[in-house]
Amino acid sequence: MRASSEAYINVACHCSEYLPVPMNSISNSSINDKKSCVTCRHFDTDRCFCKIDLYDRIVRNHQIDEDE
């Protein structure tokens, strides 16, 4: 991963374009409620980056520590 799990959570919480990945019909509320870049439709999990290029801007604007 490019950043820590905590950084991905912080970025997703500040992202106005966050779209959760649709889950199967079986719902696990602990997974569905977890807002993170890795659970966003705009996140490329293979290459660990935001497809709409918002990650770096959010980190910079909200002074998020990527190594938390």
The pLDDT tens digits of the residues spanning 5-57 come to: 999 999 999 999 999 998 764 455 555 568 999 999 999 999 999 999 999 99
Find the Cα–Cα–Cα–Cα dihedral 46, 47, 48, 54, rounded to 10°.
Answer: -120
Match 């966003």 to its residue by tokens.
Answer: 40
pTM value?
0.82
Cβ 14 vs Cβ 58: under 8 Å: yes
The pLDDT tens digits for 49-67 are 999 999 999 999 999 998 8
**DSSP three-state, residue 58:** helix
Which burial class, exposed, middle or buried, applies to 34 when counting CB atoms under 10 A from its CB (0-12, 13-18, 19+)? middle
Q: CA-to-CA distance for 46 and 68, rounded, in angstroms?
A: 22
